[in-house]
Structures are given as C-alpha cells and as structure tokens.
Chain A
Amino acid sequence: MISPAITSTRPRAAWTAALPVIAAGALIAYGLTSSGYIATVLGFAAIYGVFCTGLNFFMGYTGQASFGQNAFAALGGYGSAILTDRLGLEPVLAILASMSIAGIVALVVGYPTLRLRGHYLAMATFALGLITYEITIEWTSLTHGYMGYSGIPPLGLFGYELANEKQQLVALVVIALFGVWISNRLRNSRFGRALRAIAGSEAAAAALGINVARYKLAAFVIAALYASVAGSLFAHFIGFISPEVFGTAMVVLSFTMLYLGGIGTTWGPLVGALIASLIPEVLRSTLPGGLKEGQDIVYCAILILILIFVPKGLSSLGSLWQARRSAVREG
C-alpha cells in the first residue's frame, strides 16, 4: 500500500521551501518602499528572528528552559561595540570574535549547569542573565554603565559601510534566513534527532546511547552563538546599546515570539518575531485616536487569542492547511 503521506510530501516540500523565500522577498520589498521607520521595525524583527531561532535549538528542539539567553546577546552587543571602538576591528570581525567569546562562555557556564534538571537549570540561567546585566552596569570603564555605548559603526565589509537602514535591512533579512537554513539542516539530521529525542524523553534517549548532557550543551552553545550574533547585529544596526537593551524584557519578548510562531518548528521563531514586532505597529497606525491609549491591552489580547486558538504557533497554520487539502483530496 502506498501511504497517502508519500504522495502529498513531495509537492509540499517544494512549496514550503519556496514560500519563505517569497515571503522574505515581499518583506524586503515592503521595507524598502516604506519609511525608514518601518525598515527599522523590520530590521528589529529580523534580529529577534536570529535570537529566537537560536533559542529554539535549546528550548524547542531540546525542550530545555533558559531564562538567561540575553546574557549572550549582551556579550555580542558589547563585544561588537568594544572591539570596533577600542581595537578598530571591522564589524564582521568583531561579530565573529564576539561569537567565539560567547561560545566559550556558554561552554564554561553550561558544562556544570546543564547537569542540573528542571527548575535548577532555569534558575541558573536566569542568574546568568542578571549577573551579565549587573556587569554591564558596574564595569563602567569597559561598558560606560547606564550611559551605554554609542557611535558603533554600521554593518559593512572591507571598509564599505551599509549606509542606511534599508541597505542594512536587506543584510539582516539575509542573515536571518541563513540562520533558519542552518536550523533546518541541523534539525533534520542525526544531530537534530538526538536533540528532539531529549525533548521527548531523556530516559529513552539515554537508553539509545545518546549522551544527554553533551547534546544539551551543544544546543546551549548554538543558542548562545545565535544570541551573540543577534546582540552584535543590534549594536551595528542601531549604533547604540545600553544595559536595558539586553535586560529581562528581552527574555519575555523572545518567549512570546517563540510560542507565537511555534516553538520547536524551523520557521516558527522567525515568523513569531515578525508578527510580534508588526502587531504594535499595525495597531499604532490603524487604531482610532481614542483607542490609542489602550494599544498595549489590544496587543496583549491579540497575543492571548492567538495562543488560545493556535496553540502550536502561527507557523503550524501552513501545515494545517496542507493537511486539510490532502484530506480533501483523499476523501
């Protein structure tokens, strides 16, 4: 018997591969033809997309909780700021150097903490975020404290700078798509299956020879590398960072995005980042004058409604539609 899934998988694969690229193209076009402000909003979304795609390795694929991923974004952001300012490094080199630092810190911090389970791990990662926040405030000679770091050079390569936010937006979207591409390749492999097995059952994963602690550590480090890149991109995109940029609010926002888009899916984090970034802007421009005050309430209501009616995240809508179509075809 030929399973119906075999006949419906092939066309769907081509379709789902093309769709995001088309969507990204439309998005870039929208950003380029709109105001600089919209381009900035979309750039933020792409940066958060990178951050969440990384966090998804640890929280989605591997099923672990981390409340401290903002620490690695701060490392990336301050790394980029300090390395370009003090050492005069090219932004790209500063990003790569910050990534290596973030990766090493993740290894050193993750090795002991990932042996902890459940609440302890969550607490340990939360502490990591708080400690980093304190350091960025207190170590003023290096970080300028509350004042923050300004005048960070924009993205560029070989001395050529991307002059405005629209050029930078194109670069950010390309980088975000590259991040998702990596995530997709890793997910559908022996490595990704091991991570997802850990999310499903640590006991069963270990019984099949998977070194649970080592794979958790790998997912944690990958998430830290993405977070570091996101932090660096933020610094170069805006040109200014302060401790607040990488504060606890970042953690809350990234969780919202993950669940909104679909945690554990490949495209969910980017979709979630985009939707969560755009809703407030749409509200701002469409709500009538009297309702403007209640914008935050409307925003939260929309988020809650989405989470109630699409609990698996917005990126699950695509496959739902597919499933319904193939069901109709079979019936």
Chain B
Amino acid sequence: MALLNVQGVTKRFGGLVANDSISFAVPEGSLFAVIGPNGAGKTTLFNAISGFFAPTSGRILFDGQDVTGLAQADIAQRGLIRTYQLVQLFKDMTVAENVQVGFHRMTSGNVGAALLRGAGFRRQEEHIREETRSLLTFVGLGNRADVMADTLPYGQQRLLEVARALAAQPRLLLLDEPAAGLNTQETDALADTILRINARGVTVVLIEHDMGLVMKVAQRIAVLDFGRKIAEGTPAEIRSDPAVIAAYLGTEAEHA
C-alpha cells in the first residue's frame, strides 16, 4: 500500500501556479525521488506535503489518512519528517543538542518531569544521549558532538539535519537537496547513508539536483517542470524520456 498519496495537489502564489495538480504515490519502504529544473516547484510540493502550508487544492494522504491542511507539528507527530533546502539548524545549540531535539516526538514529559527528574526522566535522558551518539556516528559526525552547530562546515550542517530528522524516527522522510554543498566524496558517503536509512525501513522521498545520486539510489522518480509533473518512472525510464530530456535541455539552453 502507498504510504504517501499525493492527489491533484495545486499550490498558487497569487498568479503563479507553483504546483499544478500533481499526483503520485510512494509505496511503503520505497526510495522515491522528485527532480526538476530550478523553480519547478519541488520545495513547494514538500511544503504542501509536510504542512508547512496548506495546498490551494488537492489532497494528501499519509498512511491512508487525510492530512491535508493539518498543522505541521501534527503531521510530523504522525511520523512524516522533512528537512529544509536552506539548513535550519538550532544555532545556539551544540551538534548533540540539535539531535536531542529530534527525539521530541518519540519522548514525553514537560515541566513536571524536568523539575522532579524521577527515574523515568533520567532513563529517557540517558537513552536520548546514547541514541544521539549512535545517530551522529551513523551520519559521520561522531567526533563533532560537542561543538556549536553553526561552526560546522556547510556540508556537515546538512548531515546534522539528516541526523536530527532521523532522531524523530520518521516513517516517511522528505529530504530536500541533502547533497547541496557536498563534494563528490561526501556525496558518495551521503548516497550510502540514504540507502542505509531506507534499509532500516524508512520510506524516503528525495529532492536532488545531483543526477548521479538520484540514479544511484532512487527506485522511482517523478519529474516536475513549471509546476507540472511531466514524467514518472524508474531511473531507466526517466533517463530516456523525451519530455524530461526536453525540459532539461530547455533549461540548459536558457542558461547558455
């Protein structure tokens, strides 16, 4: 069954149609990619799916339930977790603390628990610290735990965002251009990390410009251009799709 079902999602900004009746389904456990030229509407689509804003029309089903128009935090609480294209770290916190925030959804207790610090509280904090350590190791930031997040180089900041998102134990993870700013070596490492995340049973939807990365990890790809979905299929199908080639050649011609 599809874990995520996007049905005719349209998003208008004034006269601009950033998403034009987009539909696709992401099967549970799969690794799905959304590609397209700059300004095609990929991030807008993530914003609509994750509840950052509501779509103008259309429906989003997560795990069979309609989540269209729910508050972003409520959607996240159901296990739909996204990262941002422009990194959104908690700058005044350490790398480890950033990841610890990620456990919010899977942990409990507020003012009372923090004041009383009973056995349950201490066990939970200990658990969070251990899991944070292993998540940072998982993304390759194991030795940066105690530095301030904003002192990390840009590429590592992106990895930290991934680790933080994983702390929330996503059922569906939306990654918006995680390879931006990474060098070739780091991108290869990231590809490996994404595959391992997926192997853990997390369904992944990936926005990426790095075609090497997309073709390597994605099982299915949807292509957006000017807000519309112009193609969907396996990497092999997408590579030979005339509409896709035209869209990419078109933008390259514009840039030339």
Residues of A within 8 A of B (CB): 1, 3, 5-6, 9, 182, 185-186, 188-194, 196-197, 199-201, 203-212, 218, 222, 264
The A-contacting residues of B in range 39-94, CB under 8 angstroms, are 50, 52, 71-73, 76-77, 81-84, 88-93
Min C-beta distance of B73 to chain A, whole Å: 5
Interchain CB contact under 8 A, A207 and B93:
no
Interchain CB contact under 8 A, B93 and A200:
yes
Min C-beta distance of A219 to chain B, whole Å: 10
Given contacts A189-B114, A190-B107, A196-B93, contact A206 B72 (CB under 8 A): yes
CA distance A239 to B24 in the complex (A): 70
Interchain CB contact under 8 A, B114 and A208:
no
B235 interface residue (CB < 8 Å to A): no
CA distance A193 to B129 in the complex (A): 13
Interchain CB contact under 8 A, B50 and A191:
no
Q: Interface residues of B toward A: which range?
A: 35 or more
Contact pattern, B 137-166, Cβ under 8 Å of A = 1, otherwise 0: 000000101100000000000000100110
CA distance A211 to B70 in the complex (A): 12
CA distance A264 to B92 in the complex (A): 9
Interchain CB contact under 8 A, B72 and A199:
no
CA distance A218 to B114 in the complex (A): 14
Min C-beta distance of B37 to chain A, whole Å: 25
The A-contacting residues of B in range 92-111, CB under 8 angstroms, are 92-93, 97, 100-105, 107-111
Interchain CB contact under 8 A, B109 and A191:
yes
CA distance A194 to B71 in the complex (A): 17
Interchain CB contact under 8 A, A204 and B88:
yes
Given contacts A189-B114, A191-B109, A204-B88, contact A209 B76 (CB under 8 A): yes
Interchain CB contact under 8 A, B93 and A208:
no
Interchain CB contact under 8 A, B110 and A209:
no
Binding site secondary structure of chain A: helix
CA distance A6 to B77 in the complex (A): 33
Closest to B121 in A: A189
| Of the residues B82, B97, B145, contact of A207 by C-beta under 8 Å | B82
Q: A189-B113, A189-B114, A209-B104 are in contact. List 9 more A-B contacts (CB 8 A).
A: A186-B115, A194-B104, A196-B92, A201-B88, A204-B161, A207-B165, A208-B104, A208-B167, A210-B101
Min C-beta distance of A110 to chain B, whole Å: 16
Given contacts A185-B114, A186-B114, A193-B104, contact A208 B109 (CB under 8 A): no
Given contacts A189-B109, A192-B114, A203-B52, contact A208 B76 (CB under 8 A): yes
CA distance A207 to B50 in the complex (A): 8
Closest to A214 in B: B73
| Of the residues A6, A185, A194, A201, contact of B115 by C-beta under 8 Å | A185
Given contacts A185-B117, A206-B76, A207-B81, contact A199 B104 (CB under 8 A): no
B218 interface residue (CB < 8 Å to A): no
CA distance A211 to B82 in the complex (A): 16
Q: Top 10 A-B pairs ranked by shortest CB distance?
A: A200-B90, A189-B114, A5-B146, A204-B88, A209-B76, A209-B105, A201-B88, A206-B72, A209-B77, A197-B101
